[in-house]
């Protein structure tokens, strides 16, 4: 099936299998590998993207559901000349990246929260991250990255 959507600000067209997930279409058909394929059950958050501004697990969304809509991925966060988004920079500065498999989903979840609630409490941050599993860090450095990102993104 022929699909047309805006992905990270660029109009894209793709022929996708009608049963393909949005994650599979992004990775396999469009070579956008930022969203990771970990659980394929919506449990880990590694594949998180925005669909028309709403945070979704792309493994649970059919590619066909994105037809005519806007998809934003972690791959589209960097600015001109690949300048890192403040959340991406904070993750690096805080040492919140280890194996890196969960990082894209965490960066998307943190960005989503801080774009809506720049002064989010630690409880809200923990709630926003509750759908993301990390097996390496113990989350302390991730929470430090959120604190750094909040400062960098403060109005």
Task: Name the residue with higher pLDDT: 55 or 154.
Answer: 55
pTM (global) more than 0.85: yes
Please list the residues that pair with 3 across neighbouring strands: 14
What percent of the chain is modeled with pLDDT above 70?
A: 100
- Separation between Cα atoms, residue 146 and residue 113, nearest integer Å: 10
- Separation between Cα atoms, residue 84 and residue 91, nearest integer Å: 10
Contacts 24+ apart (CB under 8 A), 97-101: 98/134, 98/136, 98/137, 99/135, 99/136, 101/36, 101/38, 101/46
Tokens 């002064």 identify what position? 119
Name the CATH superfamily, with its identifier, for domain 2-76: Beta-grasp domain (3.10.20.30)
Show the beta-strand stretches assigned E in 9-136.
10-15, 48-51, 54-57, 70-72
How would residue 79 be classed by pLDDT, with cut points 50, 70 and 90? Answer: confident
How would residue 98 be classed by pLDDT, with cut points 50, 70 and 90? Answer: confident
- Beta strand 70-72 with 48-51: parallel, antiparallel or unpaired? antiparallel
Hey, is 15 helix, strand or coil? strand
- Separation between Cα atoms, residue 97 and residue 94, nearest integer Å: 8
Sign of the Cα pseudo-torsion (26, 117, 126, 90, in order): positive
Reply yes or no on whether the pLDDT at 82 is more than 90: no
CATH number of 80-153: 1.10.150.120
How would residue 135 be classed by pLDDT, with cut points 50, 70 and 90? Answer: confident
Q: Where are the domains of the chain?
A: 2-76, 80-153
Residue 136: what pLDDT? 87
Residue 123: what pLDDT? 97
Computed over every residue of the chain, the mean pLDDT equals: 95
Residue 85: what pLDDT? 96
Give the tens place of pLDDT for each residue, 11-65: 999 999 999 999 999 999 999 999 999 999 999 999 999 999 999 999 999 999 9
Whose CA is closest to 58, among 99, 28, 91? Answer: 28
Residue 155: what pLDDT? 80
How would residue 106 be classed by pLDDT, with cut points 50, 70 and 90? Answer: very high
- Separation between Cα atoms, residue 82 and residue 66, nearest integer Å: 26
């Amino acid at each position: 099936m022929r699909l047309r959507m805006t992905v990270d600000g660029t109009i894209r067209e793709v022929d996708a299998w009608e049963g393909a997930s949005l994650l599979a279409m992004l990775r396999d058909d469009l070579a956008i590998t930022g969203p990771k394929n970990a659980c394929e059950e919506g449990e880990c958050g590694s594949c998180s993207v925005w669909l028309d501004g709403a945070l979704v697990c792309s493994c649970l969304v059919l590619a066909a559901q994105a037809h005519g809509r806007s998809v934003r991925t972690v791959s589209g966060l960097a600015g001109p000349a690949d300048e890192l988004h403040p959340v991406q920079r904070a993750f690096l500065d805080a040492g919140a990246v280890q194996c890196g498999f969960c990082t894209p989903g965490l960066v998307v979840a943190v960005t989503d929260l801080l774009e809506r609630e720049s002064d989010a409490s630690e409880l809200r941050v923990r709630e926003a991250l509750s759908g993301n599993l990390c097996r390496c860090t113990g989350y302390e450095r991730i929470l430090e990255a959120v604190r750094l990102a909040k400062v960098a993104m403060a109005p």
